[in-house]
Structure 1
Amino acid sequence: MNSITDQLTFSVTLSTKAHTIAQEYSQGIANPEKRQHIYLNTLAVYAVEYYLECMGFETDWQGSDSCDRLTIQLMNVADLEVKTLGKLECRPVLPNTEICEIPPEVWQDRIGYVAVQFNTELTEATILGFTSQAQAEISLNQLQSLEDFLLYLSELEIAKYPQHKESSNLVKIGQWLDGFVDASWQTIEHLLNPQQLGLSFKNAVTITRGQKIDLGMQLDQISVALVVKLAAASEGEVDILTQVYPVGNYVLPQGVKLNIHDESGENILEVISRKEDNWIQLEFSAELGEKFQIIVTYGDSQQTRLFEV
């Protein structure tokens, strides 16, 4: 098995929102050690929830024991419910530590244990890997990789729902070229003003579709259009241009981020809107059968779409 340093990891910024949630759940706890446990457990769950959402898995943190105020005072618990699959335990790992500890009270009713290591300032959490076996402690270099983790979750999903081997939110973009387009992806004439259309693509555009996305909460909410332009390149490969436009406005707010991740979750491309940008875009090529994710982020709000060519 490879050392954890040779494996893919995933880092999550611990924003003010993350610390506010941790503070909320740990406040009023008289015992300093218990208070720290709850604070770090909450940050670990926050990081894993963010990661799983990026990977296209639905979670239910509010329905987890780690959100129950009585349970977290009685038990050292950091669980996260993954919808249809079960509970993951998100175990915090302190900086400069080589061991992930798993308390006995969470050895039951878990589909796996994810190690989340913090930096000294608690500004970043790095998801290192996982184990499916309950044990008092595991060396970090014995953790299974995140690639194995995603495969493990997918196998659980297939085992539970063999009739649905593909995730329901997977967009089979390769079928667009054959004329099979999901109804949720509209022609862009239905989403955008004529003045916003007609941006360049290096090849002749074969098909273009878009989807309205709402980002932010309440007064801060904005609406954008995620547009995907697809063109056949060479045999077994397509060119893809993905763009984000404002809806109901002619400029994007500053700080809208567009990312492309590969199947393992590694960030491949990124662009962030500047002041007065009318749109942002990324262009890349993908092979038939290849999966990737398009992620649109604004502030603490994020939307992910999973595609297969």
Structure 2
Amino acid sequence: MNLLNDSEVAMLDTPLPALKLGIPPIAHKTALAFAAPHCSARKRQQIYCNTLAVWMVNKHLTGFGIRTDLNGSRTWQPQARTLQDVADLHIPGYGHLACRPVLAEEDRCYLPATDQAGCVVVQFDAEFSTATLLGFSPVEPDRLVELPLSELQDLTVLYQQLPAAVSLKQRAEDALTHLTDWFQGEIAATWAAVEQVLTAPEMPVGAMRSRSRSRAVERGKILALAAGTEPVALVVWVEQNPNTTLDIAIELWPINPDHRLPPEVQMILWEPHSEQLMAQAQGGGSERLQFRFSGKPGDRFDVKVMHKDFTALEPFVI
């Protein structure tokens, strides 16, 4: 594991006060969108606060030059946040960093028993207009913890534990999706049922409704774009043919009230071995972007979603 170098650590030796940050509108929109499908007011509040806490910690760390994996975090996975009380940010080379929310009048926070390596406590004001990063605490995995806020350590303790930036290419290799495994039910938790990702009733689901669905599998995941922009949904549809080839559709859907993709968003289909561009599409305010193609076992391709200074790379093998 590559840690921050000595010069970077030296810059962080001076204790920092609690950091008070303004919460941007896009963070509220994302939190509301994640919470909306749930009937229980308590569950909606939990998901709303958890999402805001993770968003703000991610915003701070990325601004500090730390590489994070927001889209791979359990808070961004519909099934995980439905079944559990999850508020963690995945940091490659470090693990899951808990980002636990507390309200203005609270003097302690409760950390569920999971595999988190540490915890940052985020306190919201009464109007949810600001978030204060109060401090850090190391935690023992899989133990229910009650953390008094007075015992939190300075955030510099966390900074000195975090790994250096992990390259986008290395993260992509670690996250390679094997599409043929989907037909045996071996699907990573980061890929959710499309009905959980595209929740608006007026939003069509599926890439090829006219095709037979008997041998088809469809999954999706939410991608956070550049700051100030609503997230989008990446949907993958695969159907197995009798000759072992796969028909594949890759789609990018908006998740916003207008049901339109941002004009600047791009989706690129890339062949990594020959480093050749296979296809490219740009949002332009459209309802969705789509690639359709066929492939044989062993074929590799990457999907890149780009928006301003944001890039997500999803690698696949058939």
TMscore range, shorter length = 0.3 to 0.5
Taking structure 1 as the reference length, the TM-score comes to 0.48
Taking structure 2 as the reference length, the TM-score comes to 0.46
